[in-house]
Amino acid sequence: MTVSSAPGKVYLFGEHAVVYGEPAVPCAIEQRATVTVEARDDDHVRVQASDLSLDGFTVEYTGSTADRPDVDVPAPLVEAAMGYIDAAVEQARDAADAPDAGFDITVESDIPLGAGLGSSAAVTVAGIDAATRELGHRLPTGEIANRAYRAEAEVQEGQASRADTFCSAVGGAVRVEGDDCRSIDAPDLPIVIGFDGGAGDTGELVAGVRALKERYDFADDTVATIGNIVRNGERLLDPDADVEADDRIAELGRLMDFNHGLLESLGVSSRSLDSMVWAAREAGAHGAKLTGAGGGGCIVALDPTPETLTALRFTPGCEEAFRAELATDGVRRVA
């Protein structure tokens, strides 16, 4: 039996624009997905998941993971929860040259599913690491990131970026621009997260932005402007930047506010996300924005005081609010 865990993430800047080759800066956070894998003596795959924002389920099926399991729950829920696990299994089989390997898999996660905190990337990264280790084939972190990206791209029909999976694999703060992925230094940030209890449809939201870009020149300009915000934010994160610590956080927050406004103009925010963003700002947060695909899910704010956390907990539509620490470790073996 092998157990691996991988962190979720928040975007300081750059979601959606990263799909079109602009840079993005996500940061790994210490909300993690843990995947336990035990090899079987047949080619069956059995998956148990009890806390992926569903009521919990167990499925078992044979042969290729392309054969859908027969379970008595709505198909979209099964596919949302199983698609990334399926793809991780296929990547692990390929990496270990074990096409007929079977597994018992248990998924546990404290990352809300589809909420913009990188749950699918964390499950995919941890799943590939645990399954390949269980088969006696240890992968370098870079290869785990690459295989996890390919898995997400398959599930998302080619619309994935490398940002989520690279960040989850290596931890810390990272910069992603196209295929160029690298870790960057970042100071400790006073991250506060608000969660509305919902989830956006990533594919639909990405397609919506693509349609806007194709129809309106100014939408294309908006995406490019988000890229410029990322570049300014990256310079501020540099520990050698000539800026006082308090000024650094304040300016990062202002850039986050700009980024949220641009994402809102692209149609990927929602009433609940906007309400949480404004509650954070009015409580004195340096900045606040949605994180991830949008449409529902989470916002991220910067505030070293308890005021934003308190305000979010009393904001209608916010189901949960919490602080998040930067995860300096990416994927790691637990057992």
Which positions are catalytic?
A: 164
CA-to-CA distance for 284 and 292, rounded, in angstroms?
23
Round the CA-based radius of gyration of the chain to a whole number and report it.
19
Which distant-in-sequence residues (6+ apart) come within 8 Å of 278 by Cβ?
288
Phi-psi region of 328 (alpha: psi -120 to 50; beta: other; left: phi over 0): alpha
Q: What's 24's DSSP letter? A: B
Strand partners, 322: 193
CB 332 within 8 A of CB 35: no
Tokens representing 281 are 């700002």
Tokens representing 157 are 């029909």
Helix 271-282 and helix 245-265: axis angle, to 10°?
A: 160
